[in-house]
Amino acid sequence: MLLTFDQIVVFVILIVTLILFVWGRWRYDIVALAALLLVFVAGLVPAGQVFEGFAHPAVITVAAVLVLSRGLLNAGVVDVMSRYLAKVGDRLTIQMATLTGIVVLCSGFMNNVGALALLMPVAIWMSRQSGRSPSLLLMPLAFGSLIGGLITLIGTPPNIIIATYRAETGVPPFGMFDFAPVGAGVAMVGLIFISLVGWRLTPMREGRSAPEELFQIEDYISEVRVPEDSKIVGKTLYHLGLELEKDTEATVVGLVRGDQHIPAPSGYQIIMAGDILIVEATPEDLKSLIDVVGLELAECKGDCKALLGSDDIRIVEAIITPDSPMTGKTAISMYLRSYYGVNLLAIARQGRRLKTRLGNTRFVIGDILLLQGSHESIQEALKSLRCLPLAERGLRLDQPRKVFTAIAIFASAMAVAAFNILPVQIAFMAAALIMIFVKVISVDELYESIDWSIIVLLGAMFPLGQALETTGGAQLIAGKLLILSDHFAPSFIVAVLMVGTMLLSNVVNNAAAAVLMAPIAISLAHGMGGSADPLLMAVAIGASCAFLTPVGHQSNALVMAPGGYRFGDYWHLGLPLSVLVVLTAVPLIMYFWPF
């Protein structure tokens, strides 16, 4: 069968788009917009339909679910569950089952990255307390967040996308719990496997042999005295900072003047002779500080160390999340001291404290930062920078605890959607607005909670998927698969489609994989003369089970640095889990959703 010109064009655009997704040089939302422009220029999508994807019900639902997830986090729903985890003991199997079980449950009803991000600090803390490497807990936790999303319509964007595609077959979209018979079965089998066997397959990266702190503050906090002949006498700490930036990365984190203790002093503080400056500095930087600025080492009589632990000053370890504005930037470019009132004392990556120059180190997702500042400045910085404090510091963001209110709003929205009283996108958008009215989430947080790159990706990919269908490209691919149906049972076709989607989802965004594979599933069902439901379910399962690479899902990327994982580590646990998912899901699909 010869390809038409339109089919050649759409296949070329798709292939180039997928290559750029895998390459990762440009953001996937920008790549998707460029692909959308190309299909318009090629005449494959009319001008009036170019931006229709942004009004697609699936896009609205995904945005609403992200807002509701933020509301649940603000209200402390997951935090209430996770605070009891410290009571489960030190046995690794029990810790694994408890942590993964909670993240599976939470991910079924909220954004899986959000659930993972809140439980991950708890997992790191439990690992330290037990003297184990965090790598044993973090990868299973990430994979648990993925399988948990299979349970409900709102558990993961691919489910929402597949539900809307079902309406194209002439039947109502999948409902809130239509995914549960298959998804819950897969999640349960996956949870048992991870808890009993799977964690043993996780590569164990270097961990601490004892439950000690990742950052030993006293190792690099020093005290220097300002002599009378120092050239910085009479100048401000701001001018001293400019002087330090030329040759060192030392940071002034406190000041002692007689009986006066000043934690996190202002940059406008004037330096006087006899002042003791508490500085964070490596031995090399400390030497430069003494030689260049003309300071001298001071004997600390106990007040300096006490200053760092006072009620006015906090030192907190925090993890950079996927939606943090810090990703890809440096401490210098972020102006952490000037804009946020906090000092960056150290960075840990892949379980180790970095020895590189802090100011010029580009932050990555999962970096653990040691921040110092006042109680108020730390809280505001964590909110603005979207970082999560580690559990052992005992820091709680001062959000009103409206757990029952948030749960009631969320449960009501699910019930309204489940009983078809309102379309799911309307029900969840209404719930998001109610959370704003009752002040569970602020207007600013509403916009911050939406991952706009995902929204742009979905809005751009829907017309691209439509072009694949209207040009006959989807039917062409389905026709190739139909040849297999003449020789193999329908269950084999379901498995092939699921595996193909799974492999695609490991290299591109799972929402994009669902958008591309859903038209092929529908065309294949028409060719086989049966229901599209089992094939759409296969796509939904495959799109959400990206266990083989760190780029397959944000959850995988989030645990890479704290766990110390390498790119090739994921398939050790991911491959057997993927096989288990296929072996479990295919029989369940054929039973609950027959052709």
Which pLDDT score is estimated for 18? 84
Task: Quote the CA–CA distance of 570 and 550 in Å, as a whole number.
Answer: 7
pLDDT tens for the 595 residues of the chain, in order: 568 888 899 889 988 988 888 777 788 889 989 999 999 999 998 988 889 889 888 889 888 888 888 888 778 776 666 566 656 767 888 888 888 998 999 899 887 877 787 777 778 777 877 778 888 889 999 999 999 999 999 899 999 999 999 988 888 999 999 999 999 999 999 999 999 988 888 877 664 434 445 565 555 566 788 888 888 888 888 887 777 666 666 778 778 887 777 777 777 888 888 888 888 776 567 777 777 777 776 654 444 444 444 555 677 888 887 778 898 888 878 888 778 878 787 777 765 666 565 667 888 877 888 887 777 888 888 888 888 776 544 434 444 457 888 889 988 998 898 888 888 889 999 999 999 999 888 888 888 788 788 888 888 888 888 888 888 888 888 888 777 777 788 899 999 999 999 998 887 888 888 998 999 999 999 888 889 999 999 999 999 999 988 877 878 877 877 787 887 889 999 999 999 999 999 999 999 999 8
Q: State the SS3 of 541-576.
A: HHHHCCCCCCCCCHHHHHHHHHHCCCHHHHHHHHHH
Whole-angstrom distance, CA of residue 586 vs CA of residue 567: 29
CA-CA distance, 150 to 286, in Å (whole number)? Answer: 53
Rounded Cα–Cα distance for residues 499 and 539 (Å)? 9
Say if residues 132 and 93 touch (Cβ distance below 8 Å). Answer: no
Distances (CA, A) of 411 to 61, 141, 153, 418: 16, 25, 14, 10
Phi, psi of 548 (to 5 degrees): -95, -20
Measured between alpha carbons, how far is 518 from 158 in angstroms, rounded to an integer?
10
Q: What pLDDT does residue 332 have?
A: 77
Strands 343-349 and 260-263: unpaired
Amino acid at 421: I
For 466-501, write each residue's pLDDT tens digit: 888 888 888 888 888 777 777 788 899 999 999 999
What is residue 521's predicted lDDT score, i.e. its pLDDT?
Answer: 92
DSSP 485-530: HTTS-HHHHHHHHHHHHHHHHTTS-HHHHHHHHHHHHHHHHHHHTS
pLDDT value at residue 188: 96
Per-residue pLDDT tens for 209-232? Answer: 344 455 655 555 667 888 888 888
Helix or strand or coil: residue 296? strand
Cα separation, 321 vs 341, in Å, equals 20
**Burial bucket for residue 149 (CB in 10 Å: 0-12, 13-18, 19+):** buried
Amino acid at 576: P
Instruction: Enumerate domains of the chain plus CATH numbers.
Output: 227-294 (3.30.70.1450), 317-393 (3.30.70.1450)
The edge-to-edge listing of strands for the beta sheet with 260-263 is 260-263, 251-257, 276-280, 221-225, 296-297
Angle at 349 between CA 345 and CA 350, to 5 degrees: 150
